[in-house]
Structures are given as C-alpha cells and as structure tokens.
Amino acid sequence: MPADVDLIVGVPRSGMIAALLVAEFLNKRCASLDEFLDGRIMSCGCRRRLIRNDRQYKVLVLDDTVFNGTAMGKVRERLAPIASQYHIIYGCIYAEGRDAKEKVDLFFEDIYKPEDNLCFYEWNILHHYNRTTKVSMWDIDGLLSKDPPDERDKAAYEAYIPNALPMIIPTTFVGAFVTYRLEKYRAVTEAWLQKHDIRYGQLVMFPSQDYDERNSTQSPARFKARQYAAATWAQIFFESEQHQAERIHQLTGKPVFCYENGKMYL
C-alpha cells in the first residue's frame, strides 16, 4: 500500500466497504466514486479541488474484487475527463479472475483458481452475480419475505401471502425457489414474485394433496433437501433458518448458506 496516497475512492457498492475499512485503518480521507467526480470528500461537506503544493494529489480507486476487469474498465472511463488532474491508481482487495492482476495497479490477495469454483463474499453473497445465482436454490419465507402468520390461522395466512413484506430481493436470475408453501398457493406466490420483478427458473412447492403427510412425517428441511439433491445443476442453497440449513446440508452434502446466522455449511 503506497504510503503517500491522499484519498481512497470506493467503487459502489461493495468497494465502499473495502475503501472505508482501509481508509479507517490508515487514517486517510475517503469518498465514493460519485462524490469524487463531484469534487466532494466524505465528511467534509463542501465542494473543493484536491490540490497539494508539493506533488500531484494521489488517489487510490478501490474495489472489493476484480474478475475480468470489466467493471474497473468502466470506472476508468468515468474518470478519464479528470484523470490528468490527479495521480490515480487502481486496486482491489481480491484478484479473483485469471488475468485480474493485470487489470489493476495493486491488489491485496490473489485468489484465482484454475477450477471453476464459486467464490462468495460475506458482504454480498445474497446480491451476487448472475453466474452464481443461476445455479442457486432459494427459500422464500424468512428470506425473500418476512415469515407469514401460523398456517393454522388460515384467514390470517391467506391474507398475508399476497402482501408479504419483502426482505432480500435478488437482482439477478435465480435458478429455483423451493418453498414449503402448499401448491395451491402457486398463483398468489407467482404474482408476488412478478410484482417484485424477481426472475427465476422454477418454483417448487409442496403438493397440496400430500397435506396430511406434510403434517405428520415431512419437515421443511427434508422436502427442500430432496429437491436440492435431485437438482444436479444446483450448487448452493440459500436457507433462512439455522436448523433447516444444517439439516439440508446433512441430507445432501451440498453447500448451504444460512441467512439467520450468516454461516456457510460445507
């Protein structure tokens, strides 16, 4: 890390976490990309030209990861009109792609692996790239939306489903949603997903004709695990509740991320 960096600029969104942490540790000023382009520094509250009398002002533009350099290339394009005014260097915390190290001036850790392994980061695992979410299965209640009332209170339950309070809304295509909701609620569930512009491949629901079996011998974890194990394309399951996440992993041997405790079961 160059000691003479004057300002650290974070690339939204995830790069801001890295920039703020590095700036805090090194006692440097920090700004978002938009603030820097607008001539503002975080916490200063005023527009100002960044000038040093002894040398050109040095700026580190920092992102959390670089894979193929596309995102950082767009950042360079945005900064091109003012690039001559500053000494700008580009960096990332994790160089993830094959040629990622060549796309930046500095990086903190090279994590490239020749195998096509999925790579997750705690701060954006539920808002990851399409290449990850398309091979994922998601729970619904407790993850996409708040848990509904007890299903035994049929009136309250059926009134809540079409107006469920959203929580984590995926911004990329999801391979499948697997829910313990009964099949008879498919239409209202699909309408809710469409209302929130959620794109997905499959919606797997518990068969309504098996309701007695559902109450006596089935468990949500067992049902979800069966679907996850059968989906050979699925590489990760996002589950809302800890005990279910543990059980799904035990039954399938496949990765499960638990939203409740932020733990990955491998």
Q: How far apart are CA 252 and CA 95, in angstroms?
A: 31
Q: Between 249 and 100, whose confidence is greater?
A: 249
How far from chain centre, in Å, is Cα 112? 19
Ordered by start, the domain boundaries in the chain are: 7-110, 125-265
Q: Which CATH class is domain 7-110?
A: alpha beta
Please give the average per-residue pLDDT across 133-159, as a whole number. Answer: 92
- Nearest-CA neighbor of 122 among 93, 144, 98? 93
List the single range of 115-119, 152-156, 259-263 with lowest mean pLDDT. Answer: 115-119
pLDDT tens-digit readout, 166-212: 999 988 899 999 999 999 999 999 999 999 999 999 999 998 765 56
Do the two domains 7-110 and 125-265 of this chain adopt the same fold? Answer: yes
Please give the average per-residue pLDDT across 10-28, as a whole number. Answer: 90
3-state secondary structure 130-172: HHHHCCEEECCECCCECCCCCCCCHHHHHHHHHHCCECCCCCC
DSSP lists the bridge partners of residue 90 as: 61
Identify whether the C-beta of residue 238 lies closer than 8 Å to the C-beta of residue 143. Answer: yes
Q: Which CATH class is domain 125-265?
A: alpha beta
